[in-house]
Homo-oligomer: A and B are copies of this chain.
């Protein structure tokens, strides 16, 4: 029998039952790689930089030629020309000699350090006085200091960020192997729903979950297909779900937890695959169903927008991460509750907040509302959880807020 599961059990179930989809590698241009999941380790095949480089404007020297020099008794070296930016150092530096190099310029063979221009006097007759001894390796980056052949730059499963794009550019990876985007189908169900651009008639409301879930999944990085508003008719529903499952990697049925649709959705899942879950012990969002058809998940989300929001954030996105072979960490920021919040014993309770910074401290203002009330979400900055064994939190309590990002 399927019982209501805790959030932890649901996440563990997802990891156990679903596996990363295979054969989903595609190469994208570096400029399109941000936010994508890396499909292979990136291992460097060359040196960066490919030559010893100066980190200052100065003079390349053999450090030992400067040992013991001071303001009063400078080391006098023969100037053997200048390295130009973007060109190789064509000479080999002999003992007693130096060579001008710009920041980022190549350091000639034989040299092992750079003296900053501040510690140099150019006598103008081909001789240069150095007033500060150089330590070997000073003011330079060695060939391969940044990257060398065989070095692992980025690991498979990494969601590529700005800083990774820089590293890929540095080693010339202008084509990046990434996991193909997941295609997620969304169906809104409910005889009371009209599209957002229509005026609701008596007893009708606009479909909120269709646009909201589409936005969430697009921002997450999925390709979204919206199958429209489907009436509470089992035959029609089964047909649309089957079509969506054929075209998508995962399907969300919003409103599939209302009595009629829920029963229908359960029957559809059981006729096509396996029903895995029938209820999650969280508030809002308890009436959630999860099934598996082949390797594809089919999720029945609560129709209440706030519940649908939390279930998607907390369980559907991790499920999609699992299918893509990556894992997104849930980082939280510490804040203090502006007012007390009561909770139902027995279910983890999620609550949206607005954050405000007062004297350097983050204050979280809970935004109240029954779970059908979308205005309780609008304008919020994040959310926190009251554990299921907790009956509420007092004003001033320290909480961990998940910032809702886009």
Contacts and interface: CB of A to CB of B under 8 A. Distances in A.
Interface of A: 30-31, 33-35, 48-51, 53, 55, 57, 83-89, 102-106, 141, 145-147, 151, 153-155, 158-159, 161-174, 190-193, 196-212, 214-216, 218-219, 232, 258-259, 303, 305, 309, 329, 331-334, 352, 355, 357, 362, 369-370, 372-375, 377-381, 403-406
B151 A215 contact: no
Given A163-B404, A196-B174, A258-B103, A169 B210 contact: yes
Given A141-B370, A211-B169, A84 B191 contact: yes
A127 to B, nearest CB: 24
13 contacts: A31-B215, A48-B205, A51-B202, A53-B372, A85-B191, A86-B191, A89-B202, A141-B370, A146-B369, A146-B373, A164-B377, A166-B309, A332-B333
Contact of A166 (B162, B369, B377): B377
Contacts of A303: 103-104
B162 A204 contact: no
> Which residue of A158, A192, A216 has the most chain B CB atoms within 10 A of its CB atom?
A192
A305 B378 CA distance: 38
B197 A153 contact: no
Contacts of A196: 30, 168-170, 172-174
Q: Is the interface of A mostly helix, strand, loop or mixed?
A: loop
A104 B34 CA distance: 41
A36 to B, nearest CB: 10
B49 A205 contact: yes
B373 A141 contact: yes
Contacts of A333: 331-333
Contacts of A159: 406
Contacts of A232: 85
A321 to B, nearest CB: 15
A216 B147 CA distance: 22
A329 B405 CA distance: 11
Contacts of A208: 166-167, 169-170
Nearest to A372: B141
A355 B331 CA distance: 10
Contacts of A171: 206
Contacts of A166: 208-209, 211-212, 305, 309, 374, 377-378
A154 to B, nearest CB: 6
A176 to B, nearest CB: 11
Contact of A31 (B35, B214, B374): B214
> Which residue of A154, A214, A303 has the most chain B CB atoms within 10 A of its CB atom?
A214
